[in-house]
Amino acid sequence: MGGIDLYVYLDGRDYPIGAAPKLVQDVHRTPIVEGRVLSSLDHFRKLARLLLPAVGYLPMSMLLPPGTKGETHQPKFHRYWMEADLIAGDMHYIHKYSPDDLTGKTVITNTTTPENIEVLRARGVSKVITMMPRYEGRSFGTNMMEAALTAYAGKGRPLTEAELSALVDELDLRPSVEQLND
């Protein structure tokens, strides 16, 4: 799955995203994976425990990031972008809301295209790090990589975290670090 998770998993518990099961209700033979192998900070865990039970009932439009096609660049929260040396988040949000000047910043994101990299270069970003390697100029989200690894393993079911980690090591899948500007 891409763009939405069935559940948000935290501390051994799944918090369902209400509208997501409808998207896969007719999938019966293919394992459904969504790239949800997470790691997080303790304060994030506390906040998530409070919010996740309610978040699953929000409409899909509030859960998905904005697309970049046909949308105008609308910089927001300029002060926060300027205070950060490290920007981590969804590329759609960074593309749409970041200011024109991100000189010297490091961006950690996923699912980047060559066009995204050029936008970041033009905005002065120093370095881009993606969790997964780049293939033919594009990085893919963890959901896509989990799907590829699940298919590669051929077990006919979602893989455990241990199985995924073993395949990542076996195939030597490493983050991509790309220097854009000095």
Amino acid at the residue 128? V
Residue holding tokens 């969804």?
A: 90
pLDDT at 7 over 50: yes
> What integer pLDDT is reported at residue 5 of this predicted model?
72
- Domain positions in the chain are 65-140+173-182
Higher pLDDT, residue 9 or 98 = 98
The separation between CA 56 and the C-alpha centre of its own chain, rounded to angstroms, equals 18
> What integer pLDDT is reported at residue 39 of this predicted model?
46
Rounded Cα–Cα distance for residues 156 and 163 (Å): 13
16, two tokens: 């369902």
Among residues of the chain, what percentage have pLDDT more than 90?
36
Q: What angle do CA 8, 22, 96 make, to 5 degrees?
A: 60
pLDDT at 131 over 90: no
Range of weakest confidence among 68-77, 84-93, 136-145, 152-161:
68-77
* Mean pLDDT within 46-51: 76
pLDDT averaged over every residue in the chain = 83
Higher pLDDT, residue 181 or 141 = 181
